[in-house]
Structure 1
Amino acid sequence: MIKNSIHIFFLTSFRDYKAFWLKTILSILGLILSIGLVTSVFIFVDTIEKNLNKQDLLSKVYPSNYITHNRGGLKNSEIRDILKLPMISHGYPFTKITQEIQINNKNYISHILGIDSVFLNSVIQDQLQLSNESFNNADLFLLTNKIDSNKRVSITLNKKKLKALQIYSSDFSIPTLVMDISDFKRVYPNILIDRFYLEDYQAKEFTSISFTDIILSKQTAQSSRLSDSFFINLKFIGIFSIVISSLLIYLFFRFIQKQRLLIDQVLLNLGISNISRRLVMAIEIVGFIIITTIIGVSIGIGMSQLGIGVLSKTINTLYYSISIDNIIISFNTIIKALLISTVSVTLAISPIIQTVEKKLLHCHRYFQWLIAVTFIIVSYWYLLTSNHIKWVAFQSMISLLLLIFFCTLIIISLLSYFFKNQSIKSFIMLKTASFYIRRDIILSTIMVVAISLACGLFISMTIFINSFELSVKSWIVNSTPMDIYIQAKNNSIPNPVALSDDDINNIINHPGIIEARSISRDRIKINGNPMILTAVPFKDLFKEIQVILHNNKPTSSNDIFISEAALNKLKVSVGSKLTIPTRMGDITGEVAGVYTDYASELGVITISKKKMKSLYKKNFQLHGLALNINPKFKETLFDSFSHLLIQTNKQLQSYVINTFNQTFALTWVLASISGIIALFVLINMLSVLTIDRRVELTQLFTMGGQKKHIIQLIFSHSCFIGVISVLMSIVTGLGLSWVILKKITPIHFGWNIPLTFSFKPIIWLSILMVLIIIVTSYIAFKHVWKNISSEKRVYESIKSSYFIN
C-alpha cells in the first residue's frame, strides 16, 4: 500500500508541484529563511553557553561546594572558626585578584591566584604535565597562551621580586600567576580569602546558623555571570521567527488546499481508498517537513558561521574573555527546528482549525464583531498589565499578536465593506479584489499579519537599538565633563584594577593638572544580588550623573545614590534606609537619589569618597582619575603615562559608543536578516496570492475581460493587501518597540530607556515595500497573463470551478 501511495503521490501532488513550481518555490523559500533565522539564534545561544560553561584547568580540580562571605571575603579568623566545627576536618582556600604586574621588567595585566598546595600539585603535575624536577624547583607558575615553551621569568609583585616558571596553556588568554595560598598571603597580607572549598560530604553537614554573613554556595558555570538580559533579544527574535514560520506554513497549505481538493475528488472518482489518500497526504507532509528542515537548518548553520566573528567580539565586549573559534551545533537545535516545522504543518492541516475558521465565517456578523472587539480589549489590557518577571516577554508577545491580528481583521473588514458599496466605475476592479479578500478574510488577515510581523520585527529592532544608542550617547556625554580620564589598561567595571600609588602621586603632582577627581570601585553583594560599589567626591556630583529621582535635600557624605538597575533589584525607594555589606564592614545611609547608568546591568551604588575611605582605610584604592588640565601639558601628560589607559573625554565617549555598537552588532545582524526575510515574505505572499487567483483571473478573461482589466485586478488586489501590510508593519514595529523598551528592558536590565522614534528605517522599509508591491505585481501579471490567455488554462479554470463548487 505504501508503495502504491508513493506512486500516486508522484502522479498527482508531485506533478502539480512541478506544474506550479514558482508558487511552490516562493512559499517554501520564505519558510526556509525563517527556519534558518531560528536555527542561527539557537546556535548562537548554544555557542555562547558552551564556551562560558567550559571549565578552565583550575576550576576542574576544586570541589563544587564552597563557603564564602556575604561581604566579599573571608578573614583568617573566620576560616579558623569554620575548621573548629565537628563536621569540617579540612578545606581548600582560594583567592584571586587582578592587577598590573611586571614580567621580565614589562608591565602586564594579570590574574593572580592563591590556591591550596594540594591542588597546586594536581594542577601543575597532572593537568599541565610538568616533570617533577620542574615542579619542585618552582614556587610560582605563570600560565599563558602567549608562548609555546617553558622558561623561567622574573616577576615583581607588590614591590617583591620573585621567579616563576612560565607554562603554555591555551585556556589562559590573560596571564595568570598561580602560587600557594601561604605565599600569596605573605605577598598580599591584607587580601581576604574569596572562597573556602569543602568536600561534598562535608558540605552536606555544614550549617551556617552560628555564623553571620557566612554562606555555603555551589560552584556554577561561568555562564551564570551572563544574565538572561543578553539573551533576551536573541530569544525574542527567535520566538517571533517561529511565529512567522508557522504562519508561512499555514498559508502555504491553505494556498494549495484548492488543488488538494481537486486531487482528492479525482482520486475518489477513481476508487482510491481513504487510507491511500491519507498516505499520499502524509508523504506530502513528511517530505515538506524534511526538505524545509534540512535546508533551513543548513542555511542557519551557514549564517551562524558567517557571524561567528561578530559573536566573539560581542561576548568579549561584555567582559567575558573567551575565544570562540567554532559554532556549537547541538542535537537539540536540529530537533527544535524539526518540531517547529512539524507542529506548524500539523496545525496548518488540522481539520479542527479549518472547521473553527469556517464556523466563524458563517456565524452572525454581530457575533463576529463581538469576538474581535473582546479580544482587542482583553489583549490590550493584558499587554499593559502583564509584569511577571519570568514570562513578561512571552505574555507581551501573545497579547501583541492577538491585538495585531484582530485589529488587522477589523481594518480589512471595514475597507472591504467600504469598497463593496462603491458605485464609481474606476473602483470596479478594487471592488472585485475586495470581494475575493472578504471571501477568504481570515486567510487574508493571516497573510497581512505574517508580512507585518516580519517587517515589524526589523522596524522594532532598529528603533530599539537607535533609542538605546541615543540614551547611551546622552549619558556618556553628561558623565564625562572633565578633560582627561586615566585608568589601568585592563580595568573594567566587573573586574576593577587599581592604579598604583606611584602613578597616582605622579599624576596629581604633574604641573599640567588643574583639577583632579577620583573614582573607586568594589564588588559587593546585597541580598544575593552582585553589584558594583563606586565612591566619588560629592562636590559637583550632579555634573557627572544624571539624577532622575532626588529627595530634594542638600547632599551629605552619608547619602547613597543608586542606579536604575540597582533600584530594580533592591526594590527600595528614595528616602528609605539602605545597608550595604562590604568586606570591610556595613555602610548605612539614606537613598538620596536614583540616576541613569548604562555601565553595568548588575546595578551601581555610589557613595562618597570620604565614606569609603574612612571604612576601607589601608584597603582604599583608586581605580580611575578624571583631570582638568592645562592644554599646553597635554602631550607631555600622555607621554608620561603611556603605560596607562589615558583618554580625552571625546576619546572615552567614542570608546563607549563603539563598545555599545559592538555589543549590539549581533542584534544588528539578526535584525538585518529579519529585514531581508520581511521583504522576501512580502514578495512571496503577493506572488503566491496572484498565482492563486489564476482561476478567477481566467474566468474574468473568458467573460470578456481585457488585458487592462486583468492588470487592474492584480494591482488592486496587491495594493489592497500591500497598503494594509505597510500600515500594520509600522504599527507592529512601534508596538514591539514599546514592548521591548517599556516591558522587557526595565525588568531584565533595570533601565528605563525613552522610546525614540527613528523614522528613517520606517520610511526606507515603506518605500521598499511599495516598490516591491509594484514590481512583484507586474512580474506576477506577466506570468499569469501568459498562462490564462491559453485555451488549456481556460479549460482548466472551468473544470476547477466545476469540481470545487
Structure 2
Amino acid sequence: MNRLLGRIGRSDLRRHPVQTGLAVVGVAIAVAVVVAVDLANHSAREAMRVSLASVTGAATHQVVSGPDGLDERVYTRLRTELGFHAAAPVIEGGARLAEADTRRSLTLLGLDAFAEGPFQRPLGGTAGLGEAFNELLLGERAIALGSGEAERLGVTAGDALAVQVAGRRVSLEIVSVVDDPQDQARGLILADIATAQTLLDRHGRIDRIDLVADEAAVARLKAELGSGARIVPAAASAQSVLEMSRAFQINLTALSLLAVVVGAFLVFNTLSFLAVRRRATIGVLRAMGVQRGEILRQVLGDALLIGSVGTVIGLALGFGLAHALVGLVLQTVNDVYFSRAAGDLELSTLSLVAGIVVGVGGAVIAALAPAREAAATPPRAALSRSDLEQRAHSLARQATPAGIIVLVIGSALIAGSSGLVVAFAGLFAIILGAALLAPRFMLWLTALLRPLVRGRPLAGLVVEGAAASLSRTGVAVAALSVAVAAVIGVSIMIESFRTSVIDWLQGSLAADYYVTAPVAMDDGTADTVAGLSGVAFVSRSRFETVQTADGPIEIWALGLPNQREPELDLLAGEPAAAYAALAEDDAVLISEPFAARRDLEVGDTLALPVADDASPFEVAGIYRDYGSPTGVVLMRRPLYRALFDDEGLSGIGVHVDPSANAAASPDWQPVIERATADVPGARVTDNAAVFEQSLAIFDRTFAITEVLRWLAGLVAFVGVVSALMALHLDRQREFAVMRAIGFERRGLGFVVGGQSGLLGLAAGLWAIPLGLALAGLLVFVINRRAFGWTMGFELSALPLVEGVLLAVGASLLAALHPAWRAARQGIARGLKGE
C-alpha cells in the first residue's frame, strides 16, 4: 500500500510540473543563499585567521611600546642581559604594487631569521629559506615570497618587484620563493629586519618583540624590562579584529535567514496547496481503509522529495553564488576591519550541512502541519469543500490571539536583553507573529471592500472569492507579506544609514583640503601650508594605535589653533564643558562605537597605556563617528605629544579663508601640492573627493546587503507566483462552472486577475507595517548592538511603493497562465466529476 501511495503522490507532482518546479526553486534559492553567505563568512574568517597567524606565528605575548615602537636595544638587552632567547624582533609596514592594480596592498614583514625558530611563521626561520638565507640577509633590497603569492604576482626567484613603500617607489629583488602549500603567506613580503628598517625609514626602531613564554616568565620580564615597554597577549589584537567582524558576519547570516524564512513559507504554502488539491483523493483513500499514518507518510515523502531535489540544486547554486559573495565580504572586511584580509573561497562541511538541514529539514517541517491536517480529516469531511473553508476560517480566528502573543514575546525578547543574537530571535518572532495575523488582515480588508462592490457582480466575485477561499489564500498572503516586508525593511535600513553617513560627512569634513602621506609629516610642513596666502588655519592630526591587553586602541590626536574647537556631533556631554575639559584637563572624547564596546559613559575613567604604566583619563564627551567600527579616542595633540613623545603628523587639514581673493589663487590643490612636495608620497585631496571616496566605501560595504535584499525579493517573487498559480489552477473546476453559466473569457480573466491582484494588494499593504517594524529594529536595535552606531530613520515612500508594486505585479503575473488555461479549457472537461 505504501508503494502505491507513493506512486499516487509522485504522479500528482508530475501532473502539476509548474507548481512542483516553483516549490523546488523556492527551496533551492533558500538553500543557495544560506550556503553562499555561510561559505563567504567562513572564507573571510579563515582569510583573517591565516593573515593574523602569518605575522604572529606561535607567539604567546608581545613586547610593545608607544606609537613610535621600541628601541631595538630593548631586544638586545632581552637576549643578552636577561638571557631570554624565545624572542624575535618584528617590524611591519604597508606596501602597494607600483604597477597593475594599485589597490592591491601587501605587508612588508621584517624578521630576524636567526631568532625565528620557535615561532613557526610561514616564511620565518632558516629552514624554509634554504640556500637563499644568506642572500636575504646580505642583499640590500632582497625579499622572499610564499609560492602562492608569487604565483598571483606572476614572479619567481630572480625577478624584480616594484612596490610603493613609505611614499617611495622601490624595486625589490626576489631571492627566494618558499613552498607555501596552504597559502599562509598570502599578501606578505619577507625581508631581513635591517632591510625592512631601511625601506620603512625606521632605523634603530622595531614595532614589537614576539615572545614564547609562560606566565611566570612574563611576570619576571615585566619586572626587569623597565620603563618604556609593556607586555601584552599576542592574541589580544587578533581576537579584537575577529570580534569586530563577528557582528558584521552575524548580520549577513541573519539577512540570509530572512530568505530561509520566506523559503519555508513558500514550501509550506506549496505543500498546503498540495494537501488541499489532494483532499478529495485523500477522502477516497481514507474511505477505502488507508490509515492516517500512511497518508501522513505520503505527504511528508513528497515534501522530502521536493526538499531533496531543491537542496541538491541549491547547493550547486550556493557554491556558485559564494564565489561572488566572498569577494564582497572580503572587500568589506578590508575597507572596515582588517586591511590584510584576502583569500579565496574556502569550502566548509558545516556550511554544506547547514544547507542540507535548511532544504530537506525545512521542507519536511513546513509540510508537517498540512500533512497532519490532511491525515486527521475524516473521509466525509475530506470530500467537502465547505468543511475545509470552515476549518480555515476557524484557524484564522485562532491564529489571531496566537499572533498577538508571539508579537509580545518577540518584543519582550528585544526589550529584555542587550544581546545581538537574542535581538535577532525577537525579530524573527515578530515576523512569525505578523504572518499569523495576515489571514485576519485579509478578511478585514475584504470586509472593508464589500460595501464598495455592491451592485457590481464581477467586482463582488473578486472580493467574495478571495475571502471564501481562505484555505488557499491565507498562507499565500502570509508568505508574500513576509517576503515583501523583508525587502522593505532592508531598503529603509540601507537608506537610513546612507543618509546618516552623508549628514555626518557633511558635518565632520570641516577642512577644504586634506594632506596625507604614507610617512609621518612634521610641523614644519604644516607651518609651510599654514603660511600660504589665503589659508585661514590648518588642523594637525596624528592617528596612532596603541596595544593593550584588551586589544588595540586607536588614538586621534588633534591640534587646532587657540579658540578653535573640533567640529563634532556630540551625542553625550554638554559641548562647552566637554571642549573646555578637553583643552585644559587630562580628558578625552570617545566615539560612539568605542563607548558602546567598552561600556563607557560621560564622567567615566578610561585607562590608556603610557610607557609601562596605565594613565587615567576622564571621558568628557561621546561623539558620533561612522569612520571606525572599533572606535576612536580623541585627545588634544599637545597632551598626546607630552605622553607619547611623538611629533609626527598623519594628516593636515587646510581651511581656506572664505574672504580670500579667488582670482588670486583659483585652484588651491596645486598650490598645496607644491608646498608639500618634499614629503614622500604626499597627497592632497579636496573636501568633495574625500566625500565621494567615503560614500564609495559605504556603497562597497553595503553591496552584499543589496545583493541579499534582491535575493529576498527574488524568493518573494517566486513565492507569490507559485502560491497564486497553485491557487488558480486548483480552481479550474470553479472556473468551468462560471463558463457554463455564461461568463465570457474576458469576464473570467477579470475575476482571475482581480482576485490575484487583490491578494497581492493585501500582502503588500500588510507588508508595510511589518517592513517598517523590521526597519526600525534593524536601525535602532540590531545595528546599535552590532556596531555601536546610532542613526536616523529615513522614511521615504519609494521602498513602500516598490514593495506593494512587487506584490501586486507578481500576483498579476501569476494569474496569466491560469487565466489563459481556464479560458481555453473545455467546459465539459472542467466539470468532469461534478
TM-score range, shorter chain: 0.7 to 0.9
Aligned position for 1:595:
623
Match of 2:346, SS? coil
Aligned position for 1:397:
427
| 348-357 vs 527-536, greater mean Cα deviation | 348-357
Match of 2:521, SS? coil
Match of 1:329, SS? coil
**Does the aligned pair in 2 maintain the 1:519–1:622 contact within 8 Å?**
yes
User: Would you say 1:624 and 2:648 are equivalent positions?
Assistant: no
Q: Specify the code of the residue in structure 2 equivalent to 1:792.
A: R
Aligned position for 2:355:
337
Q: Specify the code of the residue in structure 2 equivalent to 1:242.
A: V
Aligned position for 1:119:
116
Map 1:620-659 onto structure 2 (within 5 A): 620-629=647-656, 631=665, 634-639=669-674, 641=676, 643-659=681-697
Task: Label 1:570 to 1:722 Cα distance change in 2 as closer, same or farther (>3 A).
Answer: same
Residues in 2 aligned to 1:484 and 1:13: alpha-carbon distance in whole angstroms:
71
**Does the aligned pair in 1 maintain the 2:669–2:686 contact within 8 Å?**
no
Residues in 2 aligned to 1:183 and 1:483: alpha-carbon distance in whole angstroms:
35
User: Would you say 1:429 and 2:457 are equivalent positions?
Assistant: no
Map 1:507-522 onto structure 2 (within 5 A): 507=529, 513-522=535-544
Q: Specify the code of the residue in structure 1 equivalent to 2:673.
A: F
> Which of 485, 495, 502 pairs up with 1:466?
495
Q: Specify the code of the residue in structure 2 equivalent to 1:342.
A: V
User: Would you say 1:736 and 2:736 are equivalent positions?
Assistant: no
Match of 1:605, SS? strand
Q: Specify the code of the residue in structure 2 equivalent to 1:549.
A: A
Match of 1:150, SS? coil
**Does the aligned pair in 2 maintain the 1:17–1:24 contact within 8 Å?**
yes
Task: Label 1:28 to 1:181 Cα distance change in 2 as closer, same or farther (>3 A).
Answer: same
User: Would you say 1:533 and 2:571 are equivalent positions?
Assistant: no
User: Would you say 1:792 and 2:829 are equivalent positions?
Assistant: yes
Match of 1:533, SS? strand
Residues in 1 aligned to 2:160 and 2:125: alpha-carbon distance in whole angstroms:
15
Task: Give the superposition deviation at 1:752.
Answer: 0.3
Task: Give the superposition deviation at 1:373.
Answer: 4.0
Map 1:98-497 onto structure 2 (within 5 A): 98=93, 111-115=108-112, 117-119=114-116, 123=124, 125-131=126-132, 133-135=134-136, 137-138=138-139, 141-143=142-144, 147-150=155-158, 166-167=174-175, 171=185, 173=187, 175=189, 177-179=191-193, 188=202, 191=205, 194-198=208-212, 202=214, 214-218=231-235, 224=242, 226-264=244-282, 284-307=302-325, 309-318=327-336, 320-321=338-339, 326-350=344-368, 354=372, 370-383=401-414, 385-416=415-446, 424-426=454-456, 428-438=460-470, 440=471, 444-489=473-518
Aligned position for 2:719:
681
Task: Label 1:541 to 1:262 Cα distance change in 2 as closer, same or farther (>3 A).
Answer: farther
Per-residue Cα deviation, 1:37-59 (whole angstroms, up to 9, x for no partner): 22221222122123222258954
Match of 2:832, SS? helix
> Which of 700, 718, 731 pairs up with 1:662?
700
**Does the aligned pair in 2 maintain the 1:140–1:179 contact within 8 Å?**
no
Q: Specify the code of the residue in structure 2 equivalent to 1:91.
A: A
Q: Specify the code of the residue in structure 2 equivalent to 1:770.
A: V
Match of 2:520, SS? coil
Residues in 2 aligned to 1:651 and 1:568: alpha-carbon distance in whole angstroms:
30
| 114-123 vs 292-301, greater mean Cα deviation | 114-123
Per-residue Cα deviation, 1:325-344 (whole angstroms, up to 9, x for no partner): 74333222222111112222
> Which of 38, 42, 45 pairs up with 2:38?
42
| 550-559 vs 755-764, greater mean Cα deviation | 550-559
User: Would you say 1:96 and 2:91 are equivalent positions?
Assistant: yes
Instruction: Name the TM-score, length of structure 1 as normaliser.
Output: 0.82
Task: Label 1:431 to 1:181 Cα distance change in 2 as closer, same or farther (>3 A).
Answer: closer
Aligned position for 1:802:
none
Task: Give the superposition deviation at 1:97.
Answer: 3.9
Q: Specify the code of the residue in structure 2 equivalent to 1:545.
A: L
Match of 1:598, SS? coil
Residues in 1 aligned to 2:589 and 2:695: alpha-carbon distance in whole angstroms:
24
Task: Label 1:165 to 1:368 Cα distance change in 2 as closer, same or farther (>3 A).
Answer: closer
**Does the aligned pair in 2 maintain the 1:139–1:179 contact within 8 Å?**
no
Aligned position for 1:13:
9
Residues in 1 aligned to 2:606 and 2:241: alpha-carbon distance in whole angstroms:
30
**Does the aligned pair in 2 maintain the 1:52–1:222 contact within 8 Å?**
no
Residues in 2 aligned to 1:795 and 1:152: alpha-carbon distance in whole angstroms:
83
Instruction: For structure 1, list consecutive stretches of 5 or more residues without a partner in the other structure.
Output: 490-496, 799-805
Residues in 2 aligned to 1:748 and 1:259: alpha-carbon distance in whole angstroms:
46
Match of 1:242, SS? helix
Instruction: Name the TM-score, length of structure 2 as normaliser.
Output: 0.80
Per-residue Cα deviation, 1:111-157 (whole angstroms, up to 9, x for no partner): 35344623179726433444455356447743465553337999999
Match of 2:552, SS? strand
Residues in 1 aligned to 2:819 and 2:161: alpha-carbon distance in whole angstroms:
77
**Does the aligned pair in 1 maintain the 2:34–2:260 contact within 8 Å?**
yes
Q: Specify the code of the residue in structure 1 equivalent to 2:537.
A: E
Task: Label 1:115 to 1:731 Cα distance change in 2 as closer, same or farther (>3 A).
Answer: farther
Task: Give the superposition deviation at 1:411.
Answer: 1.6
**Does the aligned pair in 2 maintain the 1:715–1:774 contact within 8 Å?**
yes
**Does the aligned pair in 2 maintain the 1:392–1:743 contact within 8 Å?**
no
Residues in 1 aligned to 2:785 and 2:311: alpha-carbon distance in whole angstroms:
34
Q: Specify the code of the residue in structure 2 equivalent to 1:95.
A: V
Residues in 2 aligned to 1:514 and 1:419: alpha-carbon distance in whole angstroms:
67
Per-residue Cα deviation, 1:557-585 (whole angstroms, up to 9, x for no partner): 32311111111122222233333224475
Match of 1:756, SS? coil
Aligned position for 1:564:
592
> Which of 707, 710, 716 pairs up with 1:672?
710
> Which of 569, 588, 592 pairs up with 1:546?
569
Aligned position for 1:493:
none
Q: Specify the code of the residue in structure 2 equivalent to 1:119.
A: E
Q: Specify the code of the residue in structure 1 equivalent to 2:684.
A: I
Residues in 1 aligned to 2:96 and 2:492: alpha-carbon distance in whole angstroms:
44
Residues in 1 aligned to 2:717 and 2:309: alpha-carbon distance in whole angstroms:
23
Residues in 1 aligned to 2:196 and 2:31: alpha-carbon distance in whole angstroms:
56
Task: Label 1:766 to 1:235 Cα distance change in 2 as closer, same or farther (>3 A).
Answer: same
Aligned sequence identity (%): 15
Task: Label 1:185 to 1:646 Cα distance change in 2 as closer, same or farther (>3 A).
Answer: closer
Task: Give the superposition deviation at 1:487.
Answer: 0.9
**Does the aligned pair in 1 maintain the 2:403–2:435 contact within 8 Å?**
no
Give the superposed CA RMSD: 4.5
Residues in 2 aligned to 1:186 and 1:285: alpha-carbon distance in whole angstroms:
63
Per-residue Cα deviation, 1:144-171 (whole angstroms, up to 9, x for no partner): 6555333799999999xx9986446584
| 701-710 vs 712-721, greater mean Cα deviation | 701-710
**Does the aligned pair in 2 maintain the 1:456–1:733 contact within 8 Å?**
yes
Q: Specify the code of the residue in structure 2 equivalent to 1:256.
A: L
Task: Give the superposition deviation at 1:291.
Answer: 1.0
Task: Give the superposition deviation at 1:783.
Answer: 2.0
Match of 1:593, SS? strand
User: Would you say 1:782 and 2:820 are equivalent positions?
Assistant: yes
Q: Specify the code of the residue in structure 1 equivalent to 2:478.
A: V
Task: Label 1:262 to 1:410 Cα distance change in 2 as closer, same or farther (>3 A).
Answer: closer
**Does the aligned pair in 1 maintain the 2:513–2:686 contact within 8 Å?**
yes
Q: Specify the code of the residue in structure 2 equivalent to 1:498.
A: A
Map 1:598-613 onto structure 2 (within 5 A): 598-613=626-641
Residues in 2 aligned to 1:184 and 1:203: alpha-carbon distance in whole angstroms:
35
Task: Label 1:673 to 1:376 Cα distance change in 2 as closer, same or farther (>3 A).
Answer: closer
